[in-house]
Structure 1
Amino acid sequence: MTLRIENQMCYFKLDEDGQEQSLPATRVKIVTDNDKSMSFVELAGQRIYITEVEADALTVAGATDGRNHVKAEEPGSLI
């Protein structure tokens, strides 16, 4: 998991070494990468991809939900 939330503070893991950056949930905006059909937040100049469960937890903590729904354009797609 790249994210943990404690008392409306969000801690994002930025690299493999476990370095974290913290940010109040109210300063986090969740966005959708349409090409990858994934949610992410921008932090320290990079995209941190998160699961939908993490995105939902962030919104409960007070983050701005800027996601959009990605619709499948091919028959039989899972999305």
Structure 2
Amino acid sequence: MTVRIENQTCFFITEDSEEIRLCPDITIITDEEKSMSAVDFDGRRFYITEAEADALTVAGAVDGRRHLKATNSDSVI
């Protein structure tokens, strides 16, 4: 997926569609199972990079991400 931002409008381009949203209407979340940032639209989840998540927050999106902690001792985190 590709994210494009123009004038606080976000364009989420996937293989089969394009979702257009106003940035202030978007909440970025953390998917704990995949340890990735994502946004949800109409019951569908779109995974984004941390750089895209940061750019969305600068454009006005709500940052609902949570920091995850490693739970096993062999983690590099």
Output the TM-score relative to the length of structure 1: 0.88
Once the 2 structures are TM-superposed, how far is the Cα of residue 77 of structure 1 from its aligned partner? 2.0
Q: Give the Å deviation of 1:38.
A: 0.5
Any idea what SS the aligned residue of 1:48 has? Answer: strand
Which amino acid in structure 1 is aligned with residue 3 of structure 2?
L
Deviations 1:6-38 (A, max 9, x none): 11100012x313x21111100000000111111
Q: Say which SS state the counterpart of residue 26 (structure 1) adopts.
A: helix
Matched-pair identity in %: 57
Specify every segment of 5 or more residues in structure 1 that has no aligned partner in the other structure, as ranges: none
Quote the offset at 1:43 in angstroms: 1.2
Aligned residues: 77
Give secondary structure in 1 for the equivalent of 2:68.
coil
2:8 maps to what in 1? 8
Aligned Cα root-mean-square deviation (Å): 1.3
Structure 1 counterpart SS, 2:47:
strand
Question: What is aligned with 1:31?
Answer: 29
SS at match of 1:40: strand
Counterpart in the other structure of 1:47: 45
